[in-house]
Amino acid sequence: IIMLYHLRISGGLSALEGAWPWQVSIQRMSRHICGGSVISHWWVVTASHCFKNSNNYKLRIVAGVNSRSKYGMGVQYRSVQQVILHENFSRLNYDNDVALLHLHHPLYFTKHVQPLCIMENEMDEKQLSFSSCYITGWGSSVLEGMLFSTLQEAEVDLIDTGICNQSSWYNGHVNDNMICAGFYKGGVDTCQGDSGGPLQCFSKDMERFYLYGVTSHGEDCALPRKPGIYTRASRISIASDSAL
């Protein structure tokens, strides 16, 4: 039986101010619950498992933030008007673990708040020649640990689904809507508090980052042969001006 845990960054480094301008903190009653990515002025993409239901009560996003302990000048707060969970999200196996947040008021794009590019379809995933992928978040570095106050970043490898589904790895759990990323030996991973944040990959052709995956789940944190599992962004049709 796979024990599924909500995820955080382990083995990462503190990010520089403004390095990941689409990363947001999703908060309920001012308490960080998950990460998310800005994809347009009005929309943030995150994970469905971050929410018990579509209730947006006391929910807000904080954009343009690097340190959770001291918010700088570039920080923008927005209350959430609507939570749209993926209609086929499964709490059993985390399939289709993606959600959209519709903001009450649009974000202003500045050097600290920018949208992350999204792929139109699965062809993009093959054609955009991604060179390096990174995970980001404020999640703890150990299971059940404390959240980081400064945004953490780490480079990870994309791991072939066939390898990830081997019996000593995830034993067939990973389907076409999921991606494995991390390292065979472990040591670097998302962990609790990172859920919903981006797995972002750089396209050398386009010279920009794209949302490759949404941080979803995994077994414990940073264990060998148990990399993080991400919702595969190219399988979700997200038009940035509409719903899932």
pLDDT digits (tens, 9 = 90+) for 173-211: 999 999 999 998 988 888 888 999 999 999 999 999 999
Q: Is 97 in the active site?
A: yes
Q: Which of 48, 95, 97, 112 is catalytic?
A: 97
Residues of the chain with pLDDT under 70: 1-9, 237-244
Q: Which of 10, 37, 140, 195 is catalytic?
A: 195
Q: Is 6 in the active site?
A: no
**Per CATH, is 23-103 categorized as 2.40.10.10?**
yes
Helix, strand or coil for residue 131? strand
**Hey, how many other C-beta atoms are within 10 angstroms of the C-beta on 94?**
23
pLDDT at 236: 80
pLDDT at 10: 78
Q: Is 124 in the active site?
A: no
pLDDT at 240: 44
Top CATH class of 116-235 equals mainly beta
Residue extent(s) of CATH 2.40.10.10 domains in the chain: 23-103, 116-235
DSSP track, 147-172: PPSBPEEEEEEEE-HHHHTSTTTTTT
| 220, 228 contact by CB (below 8 A) | no
